[in-house]
Amino acid sequence: MTEDMRSILKCVRCGTCRSVCPVFDVLGWESTGARGRMMVAHGVSQGLEVDKDVLDSLNTCTTCGMCKEMCPSGAAPTKVVENTRHQLVLQGKMTDAQKELRGNAIETGNPLGESAERMAWLGDSRKDVKDKADYVYFSGCLGSYRYPDLAKRTFDILKKFGVTVLKDEVCCGSPLLRTGSDPSELMEKNLDQIKEIGAHTIITGCAGCFSTLKNDYPEKLNVMHVSQFLAERLDEMDLKKLDLKVAYHDPCHLGRCNGVFDEPRQLITAVCELDEMENIREKSKCCGAGGGVLKGYPELALELSKKRAEDIPEGVDYLVTVCPLCRTNLQRGSGDIKVIDVLDLLEMAMV
């Protein structure tokens, strides 16, 4: 019996996951909650005809992991959803968004379909890229193409600690993996370069890259989020106190799924006041973008973002997060409140 079937059979249909699934909260159909998705996945394994409703049920999951966290039976609906997506993709049954993500990644090395030079963000820091190093900064697709200033700022801080980058970095594979496609070619390309550099640790500023590099690569890698790396080196950074009050959003794939809660908070409280949101740490609500939802169901992603924005305390200057995908979608739903990365905050505090 497969692990997924064991998970499906563990489900006693108690509905706990349904009550915490952010997507069910917005859409309200049984098939768009974790319990319903488990039943749909079971149906698919028994030969249920795959129509648009089945694809929508499985593909509106953000893979936030809240259902797994709360399930009293130890079932893992998130994995079941991801694996069922994969089974269907192998049969050619997928949404246009899944097809586009995959096509882009194969053609350009990133799911955005960007053909420009990925590492152009390095600018005048290109001279600081080394052939051999213990640490590599993995900038990610969003870092490289949507937040190039942030990627450069991050590298400019990290290079002082002997960190380099991959000269020919490609997507970590997360968008393909979460939406059912095979990311192994991308993974191999990154792995080969990591080995050539001789690095023992990969540092990333993205929750999706972090989780994928750490848990899903064919070889075990030592992976740190940039907040972890810098929290260990706070004493070596010259930072002043800022007269600001900020809230912090825990990205699902960094926090609940991988247990990194404290270090981003350590960086924030080193430079300003932190006013916590409602629903934090393991109970953090999803920003709404993950699992291909921002790409495939942008209106649903917007509603999820607005729901998360309801948890922001009044009177904060910024909402801070440590993942470019969360940042992008949270900004869509947070009205006038500016969403920034913790590295932006640190830059403001650099003496």
Provide the pairing of β-strand 338-341 with 163-165. unpaired
> Binding to ligand SF4 by residue 17, rule CB under 6 A?
yes
Site for ligand SF4 in 283-312 (CB under 6 A): none
Name the minimum Å distance from CB 171 to ligand SF4: 22
Name the minimum Å distance from CB 7 to ligand SF4: 8
Q: Burial letters for 133-159: b for 16+ Cβ neighbours within 10 Å, e otherwise? A: bebbbbbbbbbbbbbbebbbbbbebbb
Q: How far apart are CA 34 and CA 66, in angstroms?
A: 9
Residue 106 has which token pair?
Answer: 């194969």
Task: Considering the complex, state which of residue 22 and residue 173 has its C-beta at the smaller distance from ligand SF4.
Answer: 22
- Using the 8-state DSSP alphabet, how is residue 234 labeled? G
> Binding to ligand SF4 by residue 207, rule CB under 6 A?
no
- How many alpha carbons lie under 13 Å from residue 65 in its C-beta half-sphere? 19
> Binding to ligand SF4 by residue 260, rule CB under 6 A?
no
Contact with ligand SF4 (CB under 6 A) among 44, 65, 105, 228: 65
Q: How far apart are CA 193 and CA 196, in angstroms?
A: 5
> Binding to ligand SF4 by residue 21, rule CB under 6 A?
yes
Name the minimum Å distance from CB 239 to ligand SF4: 36
Could you tell me which stretch among 14-22, 143-151, 181-189, 194-202 binds ligand SF4 (CB under 6 A)?
Answer: 14-22
Name the minimum Å distance from CB 328 to ligand SF4: 18
Contacts of 203 (CB under 8 A, 6+ apart): 135, 136, 137, 138, 158, 163, 223, 224, 225, 226, 229
Q: How far apart are CA 34 and CA 14, in angstroms?
A: 11
> Binding to ligand SF4 by residue 258, rule CB under 6 A?
no
Name the minimum Å distance from CB 330 to ligand SF4: 16
Contact with ligand SF4 (CB under 6 A) among 37, 102, 225, 265: 37
Site for ligand SF4 in 307-336 (CB under 6 A): none
Site for ligand SF4 in 67-86 (CB under 6 A): 67, 71, 73, 75, 77-78
Query: How many residues make up the chain in this entry?
Result: 351
Contacts of 177 (CB under 8 A, 6+ apart): 82, 183, 212, 216
Name the minimum Å distance from CB 83 to ligand SF4: 13
Strand order in the sheet with 245-248: 273-274, 245-248, 318-321, 338-341
Residue 278 has which token pair?
Answer: 């409602």
Name the minimum Å distance from CB 46 to ligand SF4: 17
Cβ neighbourhood burial of 114 (10 Å; 0-12, 13-18, 19+): middle
Direct distance between the N- and C-terminal alpha carbons of the chain, in angstroms, rounded to an integer: 59
How many amino acids of this chain bind ligand SF4 (CB under 6 A)? Answer: 26
Q: How far apart are CA 122 and CA 331, in angstroms?
A: 25
Strand partners, 222: 201
Q: What is the largest CA-CA distance in the chain?
A: 63
> Binding to ligand SF4 by residue 23, rule CB under 6 A?
yes
> Binding to ligand SF4 by residue 8, rule CB under 6 A?
no
Name the minimum Å distance from CB 288 to ligand SF4: 9
Site for ligand SF4 in 42-61 (CB under 6 A): 61
Name the minimum Å distance from CB 37 to ligand SF4: 5
Contact with ligand SF4 (CB under 6 A) among 27, 66, 277, 301: 66
Task: Considering the complex, state which of residue 23 and residue 158 has its C-beta at the smaller distance from ligand SF4.
Answer: 23
User: Interface residues with ligand SF4 (CB under 6 A)?
Assistant: 11-17, 21-23, 34-35, 37-38, 61-67, 71, 73, 75, 77-78
